[in-house]
Amino acid sequence: MKKILPLVCILSTAITFAQTPKSISLKKGQEININSTASSNTDIGMGMAMTSSTTVQNKLIVIGEDANNYILTNTTTKMKVDMDAMGQSQHYDSDKPEDKDSEVGKNVADQINVPDTFLLNKQTGLATATKASSDEASGNAASLMGEGSNKKQGTEDAFLIIPSNKKTGDSWETSSTVKGITSKKVYTIKSIDKKMAVITAKESTEGTAEQEMQGMTANVTTNVKSDVEITTDISTGLVSNRTITAEVNDIIEFNGQSNPVSAKSNTTITYK
């Protein structure tokens, strides 16, 4: 009997991971509510600092599918922002009509209650916008609001597929380069309980790219390191919780000047 029990445990683990899907499993009409809260402290340079806290709510709806993709809409339904910088405070609450004319409100006007449509690849979990998204239309508003605001990234982050034949303690890596910015992620399976798995990830984003700032072009060299913990349903690929601790060290070359910018942030995102 003592010899049989370990074998049963091994077989049980093997079966669990054999049942891990090779693709995301969704149904037409399915809704996923995303709630993101983030706080950050930023050193803008020259003795200037900024603190911010944001709360963002989004809704994903599966409106169709084809052989390779699910078709989803992603709509930001609520947003609340509190910022303090250089002795001045800014506040925005999408539930308050009077806040629409504030500086923050004008920056995010094209995001609130405007659905964007994405193709979500069933096998990779990568999203492609079917047209220019409201994030792009509102300029740098997505980066201003922090994690959870960029709809493309927010759509992808709602899902995670564990590669086949992986077990507790195993790791895998992904990487991509877009417009001079390279992102690397090293995932490790921390634990598994029935159909739920806890994954930790070390993420890095490095490179130099041009960005528009105040109607002019700036070169931004970025270095971001993040520690992430993800809880995901291995039977569907749907994430239920994601926590992110990030440290940013950027150098912005703008109008003939070079300015270092550093920040630390904490983000919690839930999916229901």
Is 107 in contact with 138 (CB distance < 8 Å)? yes
Which pTM value belongs to this model? 0.84
Please give the tally of structural domains in the chain.
1
**Range with lowest mean pLDDT among 108-117, 131-140, 148-157, 206-215:** 131-140
pLDDT of residue 226: 97
Q: Which residues contact 160 (CB under 8 A, 6 or more apart)?
A: 125, 199, 230, 232, 237, 239
Q: How confident is the model at residue 142 (pLDDT cuts 50, 70, 90)?
A: very low
Looking up tokens 């490095």 gives 206
Q: Which residues contact 34 (CB under 8 A, 6 or more apart)?
A: 56, 57, 58, 59, 60, 148, 154, 158, 269, 270, 271
Please give the angle made by the CA atoms of 53, 59 and 61, to the nearest 5 degrees.
Answer: 160
- Residue by residue, DSSP assigns 15-32 as HHHHTS-SS----TT-EE
Q: How confident is the model at residue 21 (pLDDT cuts 50, 70, 90)?
A: low
Best mean pLDDT range from 39-48, 127-136, 181-190, 212-221: 181-190
| Distance in Å from the first CA to the final CA of the chain | 42
Q: Which domain holds residue 86?
A: 4-271
**Range with lowest mean pLDDT among 18-32, 186-200, 247-261:** 18-32
Q: What is the pLDDT of residues 55-101, one digit of tens each?
A: 999 999 999 999 999 999 999 999 999 999 878 888 999 999 888 88
pLDDT of residue 135: 63
Let me know if 29 is exposed, middle or buried by CB neighbors in 10 A (0-12, 13-18, 19+): exposed
pLDDT at residue 103 is higher than 90: no
pLDDT of residue 106: 83
CATH assignment of the domain containing 83 = 2.30.230
Q: What is the pLDDT of residues 180-191, one digit of tens each?
A: 899 999 999 999
